[in-house]
């Protein structure tokens, strides 16, 4: 709910700021709409799994798990199994549903303002968090540029074109996980 309120306030602020600017010099700003960058969180999740940091984290966990098993530390082995299972569950929710990717974006937060300036957008929001789109605002898809902060691979660009339109409902996904158990 806080994210939705923040999103609405950001959009409202952008619209008000644009109208105030247009009043200062109507001939220059009359046709300029506020620009809001939107991204598909699923692609950001997938891009983050292609990083060296992610791969090293997985390798380290596997190595620690194998070491715990070989030394007979069953408690540590079980904890690492639980951690791995939880990480996998979160990653799947992020990649196939609307589960937040704020933890992922936190890793590149210092680069986002520069990207926003380069793309001339006032703010960048998850496109699945928008409940209403006003035609007075220009929405700019910044998904690939944001994903490129993690990995600039052709694979991500191809995936983005092939991703289905709407993500899977998080509730439905959770129910399928429960049914599978």
For the stretch 43-86, pLDDT in tens is 999 999 999 999 999 999 999 999 999 999 999 999 999 999 99
Q: Mapping DSSP to helix (H, G, I), strand (E, B) and coil, where does residue 110 land?
A: coil
Q: Is the pLDDT of residue 12 over 60?
A: no
Read off the tokens for 69.
């098993």
CA dihedral 74, 178, 60, 105 (to 10 degrees): -150
What integer pLDDT is reported at residue 7 of this predicted model?
42
Q: How confident is the model over 13-32, as a mean pLDDT?
A: 53
Query: pTM score, two decimals?
Result: 0.75
Q: How many CB atoms lie within 10 A of CB 123?
A: 17
Q: How many CB atoms lie within 10 A of CB 56?
A: 10
Q: Is the pLDDT of residue 111 over 50?
A: yes
| Calpha distance 125→142 (Å, rounded) | 9
Rounded mean pLDDT of the chain?
A: 84
* Start-to-end C-alpha separation, the chain: 30
Q: Is the pLDDT of residue 24 over 90?
A: no
Q: How confident is the model over 134-161, as a mean pLDDT?
A: 90
Confidence of residue 169 (pLDDT cuts 50, 70, 90): confident
Q: Is the pLDDT of residue 15 over 70?
A: no
What integer pLDDT is reported at residue 149 of this predicted model?
95
- CATH 3.30.910.20 fits domain 35-180: yes
Percent of the chain's residues with pLDDT above 90: 60
What integer pLDDT is reported at residue 100 of this predicted model?
94
| Calpha distance 181→177 (Å, rounded) | 7
- DSSP assigned state of 169: P
């Amino acid at each position: 709910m806080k994210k939705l309120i923040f999103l609405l306030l950001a959009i409202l602020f952008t619209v008000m700021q644009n109208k105030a600017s247009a009043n200062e010099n109507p001939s220059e700003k009359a046709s300029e709409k506020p620009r809001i960058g939107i991204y598909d969180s699923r692609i950001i999740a997938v891009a983050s799994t292609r990083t060296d940091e992610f791969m090293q984290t997985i390798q380290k966990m596997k190595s620690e798990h194998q070491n715990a098993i070989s030394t007979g530390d069953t408690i540590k082995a079980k904890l690492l199994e639980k951690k791995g299972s939880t990480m996998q569950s979160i990653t799947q929710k992020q990649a196939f549903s609307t589960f937040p990717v704020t933890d992922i974006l936190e890793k590149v937060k210092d680069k986002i303002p520069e990207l926003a300036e380069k793309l001339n957008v006032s703010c960048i929001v998850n496109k699945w968090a928008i409940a209403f789109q006003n035609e007075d605002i220009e929405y700019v898809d910044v998904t690939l540029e944001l994903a490129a902060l993690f990995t600039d691979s052709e694979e991500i660009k191809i995936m983005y074109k092939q991703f289905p339109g709407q993500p899977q409902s998080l509730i439905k996904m959770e129910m399928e996980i429960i049914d599978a158990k």
